[in-house]
Amino acid sequence: MSASTLVHLLLLLLAAAAATSFTPTASASTDAIDRNSSLTGNQTLVSAGGVYELGFFSPAGADDGRTYLGIWYASIPGPTTVVWVANRQDPVLSSPGALQLSADGRLVILDGSNATVWSSAAPTTGNITARAAARLQDSGNLVLSADGSGSDEQSVAWQSFDYPTDTLLPGMKLGVDIRAGITRNITSWRSPSDPSPGDVTFKLVIGGLPQFFLLRGDERIYTSGPWNGDILTGVPYLRAQAFTFEVVYSADETYYSYFIRDPSLLSRLVVDGAATQLKRFSLNNGAWSSFWYYPTDQCDFYAKCGPFGYCDTARSPPCSCLPGFVPRSPDQWRQRDWSGGCVRATNLSCDGTGDGFWVVNRMKLPQATDATVYAGMTLDQCRQACLGNCSCGAYAAANNSGGVGVGCVFWTVDLLDMRQYPIVVQDVYIRLAQSDIDALNAAAADNHQRPQKSKLIIIVVATISGVLLVAAVGCCFWMMKKTKAQRKRQSDDTASSVPPSTADFQLPYRVRSQPSLSPVRGQQPDEVSGELRYAGEKDVDLPLFDLDVILAATDSFAEHKKIGAGGFGPVYMGVLEDGQQVAVKRLSQGSAQGAREFMNEVKLIAKLQHRNLVRLLGCCIDNDERMLVYEYMHNQSLDTFIFDEAKGRLLRWQKRFEIILGIARGLQYLHEDSRFRIIHRDLKASNVLLDRNMVPKISDFGIARMFGGDQTTAYTRKVIGTYGYMSPEYAMDGLISIKSDVFSFGVLVLEIVTGRRNRGSYQPELDVNLLGYAWMLWREGRGIELLDDALGGGFHHSRALRCVQVALLCVEAQPRNRPLMSSVVTMLSSDNAVLPEPNEPGVNPGMTTSSDTESSRTRSATANYVTVTRLEARSTGHSSL
Ligand SMILES: *[C@@H]1O[C@H](CO)[C@@H](O)[C@H](O)[C@H]1NC(C)=O
Ligand SMILES: *[C@@H]1O[C@H](CO)[C@@H](O)[C@H](O)[C@H]1NC(C)=O
Ligand SMILES: *[C@@H]1O[C@H](CO)[C@@H](O)[C@H](O)[C@H]1NC(C)=O
Ligand SMILES: *[C@@H]1O[C@H](CO)[C@@H](O)[C@H](O)[C@H]1NC(C)=O
Ligand SMILES: *[C@@H]1O[C@H](CO)[C@@H](O)[C@H](O)[C@H]1NC(C)=O
Ligand SMILES: *[C@@H]1O[C@H](CO)[C@@H](O)[C@H](O)[C@H]1NC(C)=O
Ligand SMILES: *[C@@H]1O[C@H](CO)[C@@H](O)[C@H](O)[C@H]1NC(C)=O
């Protein structure tokens, strides 16, 4: 009797013992199968350290009996997290399935009638012996070794790591192995119940400089940016304490891979098909959380700003043309459609002398898969090479691995997918006509002599205004009939009878009985609806200012009167004749969208009166000019305090709490108490103004939406707002509801409490933004560490923690789990209310199919708020199963 037969017998005995003792997992005490054994039904292999388990499984929700051979975590109780599937396209339809090792060294899956449904690729080494075995390693790799040794790399005949499904585990490679002829990419499951390949893939594209793309079908969604020898230029923060990342770029193979320093930490990188995202999940305290995901912000979307445009989240709007370039279609560009990109202001001369270069810094390199790379060149040679090729439009260093840029990459194609970061990434040298370079140099020099420049502007503006003055002075469109005298009187009246800012809640529209003007149910709302619907109303008592009054108040829009820039134009501080200070928002001229926003804002705000909403005093329309006149806010916007180290100290805890409560009340009024249901859509620190007494007032209703009585949700095709504050379902699907405002409110509260911006407070060591960071600390019971140092001491930490908890409830992924603002106000103002435990913040925009029905049930759901939250509590952490 040979040794192997003995082993086989022993195994059989063990299996029999296991079966009779009713502990089927005991049969899983092996980590390998060989030529003489097989794995059937619910038998499993468990890796030696008990990390991973391999066996047949039926995906959640697959009730047709399909089973697949997969690998999952052995140590995690609860829903199975499958990290690899062998036969993702070939399910076993008649159970039980069986895994065997065939004589020619292939793993084969047989179904209940012994038909082969799947087999692995032919072994890469020809010397399959009788001792060949497939062993599940603690890395999650199923390794078939020709001689059963398992450890010797020479003997690897096949391994599951070469055939990733939707998950990249530590140590797996994503990329191209040219020697072995293997391409390793990860592709989403078709659905949570179907592991067959879906349409979202993350893969390496080689050529020029290598870079990774997230694709949906053929459409590019996101790219990591080219590898520059040091970093992936689109992932400048790819550093974290717990991980090491590796990109290997050589003639033989190119790949991305990562490792975890602490082997007890479980982490996986997954392509999420529903969200169209690449996500990193880590297991913390028994639950999966994904702090890290791409695309993260609007600038991450592939070629967001078109050819020769670049994106910067710190700017509004985020897209700009590269220096020396102008929008291809200025109209589209103004309407925030940047896809057309930019074109040169001046054509290149192309004779080798008439052109030069302008350097732009901190850049994600343009897509370089079609770029030309010369590894050996110096930057100077690169410049010459670029000048010598008429089609070359830009160059950069190709290899930054030594800390200095060497090598040469130049582009003879459109520059796509550039973005600017706040930190150093890489310089790109843009080729421009010499005349443009001279102009840019002159402009740069001009910047040092600002006063001169602003004088020029005043003259220009004054001249334009003078011309406009001659034109008929018309004001708010629906009041054209009113006489000049009436207008004048009203204007004077209101100017002098503005209620003090401490005037308490005024809800005039509750007592007025008006015929309902709510939108026709079932009608698909769009950007325009909700707008003219109210135009017929006669109850808008809005003062109309003459243009000359405004010009006098603002010194003809003098530069020194400028106090800021809203979404659609600059804001000026002004003093009316009677001494009242006002803020004048002057809409950008000729912007079609601005006009629409203007009408929207006037009609909305005129109807809203609340202590925590900024008060509209009047408006003015004059030809192309449109202006809104607001009460002046002495302390400007909230962001100037909380994000400023010095001014932040002026806002102690009690003040911050009052501000939070004030904003909550203002928002509650908008959502629930005013006659209309109003979604602000752009709540953020810079849109909260502070009056003389630091009472917060919500402002900027330029993109607000009005809903009729029963309407709770709408979809929009045009997602506008501010990243960092946008809820996932709005950012990804354009789904608008009051819960999207609640999300923004939650972000804002965290910012107020921590004194840090959500956007731009990315923690490189931890790989999290503010929401993720807050969540992490909260879950570890370290919520107190979030509080801004500027808060000082001497206050009740429990109340501050209550604010954090409420904020985390507000930023939950599922809109239905977020509280209504009325609940928020209650939770904040009562020290005894029992609050639900928050779930992971919203980074998972995939589950919108049910949102419509959910949101329309918002009110009833909130009555059972605590229950709903608890029921959902466990499901949010798991993505694919
Ligand atoms: C495994 O299958 C056997 C028989 O098919 C069944 O009795 C047993 O409960 C199963 N075990 C598990 C853990 O599903
Ligand atoms: C499948 O093959 C095994 C062994 O080769 C045999 O014992 C079994 O009866 C076969 N089952 C069917 C359904 O043919
Ligand atoms: C396979 O066998 C051949 C000859 O038997 C030997 O030269 C070769 O080194 C073996 N390869 C491996 C990977 O063991
Ligand atoms: C992913 O890689 C496999 C081969 O490993 C290939 O068949 C498939 O086409 C690739 N998918 C994409 C989208 O490139
Ligand atoms: C610039 O070049 C484009 C095409 O190369 C041409 O159509 C255009 O007329 C040129 N513009 C000027 C001002 O020469
Ligand atoms: C310019 O560079 C491109 C890309 O390397 C190349 O295809 C083309 O032939 C070059 N043109 C000239 C005139 O050298
Ligand atoms: C980048 O430069 C380093 C030396 O600084 C060199 O070792 C490496 O091979 C270069 N990489 C490529 C892809 O040329």
What are 614-654's pLDDT values in tens digits? 888 888 877 777 888 888 888 888 988 888 877 887 788 88
- Residue 70 clears pLDDT 90, i.e. is over it: yes
Distance 391 CA to ligand 6 centre (A): 7
What is the pLDDT at residue 711?
Answer: 66
Residue range 21-212+236-270, CATH number: 2.90.10.10
- Residue 401 clears pLDDT 80, i.e. is over it: yes
> Three-state SS for 867?
helix
Q: What does DSSP say about strands 32-34 and 107-110: parallel, antiparallel, or unpaired?
A: unpaired
For ligand 6, say whether the CB of 389 is within 6 Å of any of its atoms.
Answer: yes
CA 161, CA 84: separation in Å to the nearest integer?
Answer: 9
> Which DSSP string corresponds to 37-80?
-EEETT-EEE-TTS-EEEEEE--TT-TT--BEEEEEESS--SS-
Identify any residues that bridge with 696 across adjacent strands, giving them in sequence order: 690
Residue tagged active-site, from 312, 682, 691, 741: 682
For residue 105, what are the contacts with CB-CB under 8 A and spacing of at least 6? 122, 123, 128, 132, 144, 146, 157, 158
Ligand 3 pocket: which of 124, 125, 127, 144 to mutate (most atoms <8 Å of CB)? 127
- What is the pLDDT averaged over residues 799-820? 90
Q: Starting from the edge strand earliest in sequence, which strands make up the sheet with 394-396, in order?
A: 355-360, 428-433, 394-396, 408-411, 372-374
- Residue 156 clears pLDDT 60, i.e. is over it: yes
CA distances from 169 to 160, 161, 227, 421 (A): 11, 9, 21, 29
- Residue 179 clears pLDDT 50, i.e. is over it: yes
For ligand 3, say whether the CB of 127 is within 6 Å of any of its atoms.
Answer: yes
- What is the pLDDT averaged over residues 567-578? 80
Write the secondary structure of 795-828 as one string of H (helix), E (strand) and C (coil): CCHHHHHHHHHHHHHHCECCHHHCCCHHHHHHHH
- Residue 444 clears pLDDT 70, i.e. is over it: yes
CA 740, CA 392: separation in Å to the nearest integer?
Answer: 45
What does the pLDDT look like over 295-333, one tens digit per residue?
988 899 999 999 999 998 877 788 999 999 999 999 999
More confident residue, 560 or 184: 184
For residue 174, what are the contacts with CB-CB under 8 A and spacing of at least 6? 164, 168, 184, 185, 186, 202, 203, 204, 212, 255, 256, 257
Q: Are 607 and 614 in contact (CB under 8 A)?
A: no
Distance 221 CA to ligand 4 centre (A): 17
Q: Are 359 and 427 in contact (CB under 8 A)?
A: yes
CA distances from 689 to 683, 701, 861 (A): 11, 13, 32
Q: Are 193 and 79 in contact (CB under 8 A)?
A: no
Looking at all shown ligands, the one closest to residue 53's CA atom is 1
- Residue 385 clears pLDDT 80, i.e. is over it: yes
The domain locations on the chain are 21-212+236-270, 300-441, 510-632, 637-850
CA 308, CA 338: separation in Å to the nearest integer?
Answer: 11
Task: Indicate the fold that domain 510-632 takes in CATH.
Answer: Phosphorylase Kinase; domain 1 (3.30.200)
What is the pLDDT at residue 526?
Answer: 30
What does the pLDDT look like over 204-214, one tens digit per residue?
999 899 999 99
The residue with tokens 């006149």 is 629
Q: Are 83 and 71 in contact (CB under 8 A)?
A: yes
Min mean pLDDT across 386-395, 557-566, 818-827 is at 557-566
- Residue 707 clears pLDDT 80, i.e. is over it: no
- Active-site residue flag, 682: yes
Looking at all shown ligands, the one closest to residue 393's CA atom is 6
What does the pLDDT look like over 855-881, one tens digit per residue?
222 222 222 222 222 222 222 222 211
- Where does the pLDDT of residue 523 fall: very low under 50, low under 70, confident under 90, or very high at 90 and above? very low
- What is the pLDDT averaged over residues 825-835? 81
| CA nearest ligand 3 atom 1, residue | 127
- Where does the pLDDT of residue 68 fall: very low under 50, low under 70, confident under 90, or very high at 90 and above? very high
Min mean pLDDT across 112-126, 316-330, 756-770, 773-787 is at 756-770
Q: Are 436 and 356 in contact (CB under 8 A)?
A: no
- Where does the pLDDT of residue 470 fall: very low under 50, low under 70, confident under 90, or very high at 90 and above? very low
Q: Which residues of 140-164 are buried (b: 16+ CB within 10 A; e: fewer)?
A: bbbbbbbbbbbeeeebbbbbbbbbb
Q: Looking at ligand 4, which atom is closest to the CA of residue 183? A: 5
- Where does the pLDDT of residue 709 fall: very low under 50, low under 70, confident under 90, or very high at 90 and above? low
Q: What is the mean pLDDT of the chain?
A: 76
Distance 688 CA to ligand 2 centre (A): 73
Distance 829 CA to ligand 3 centre (A): 77
Tell me the residue type at 80: T
Cβ < 6 A, ligand 2 pocket? 113-114
- Where does the pLDDT of residue 187 fall: very low under 50, low under 70, confident under 90, or very high at 90 and above? very high
Q: What does DSSP say about strands 363-364 and 418-420: parallel, antiparallel, or unpaired?
A: antiparallel
Looking at all shown ligands, the one closest to residue 199's CA atom is 4
Q: Does domain 637-850 have CATH number 1.10.510.10?
A: yes
Distance 416 CA to ligand 5 centre (A): 21
CA 610, CA 664: separation in Å to the nearest integer?
Answer: 12
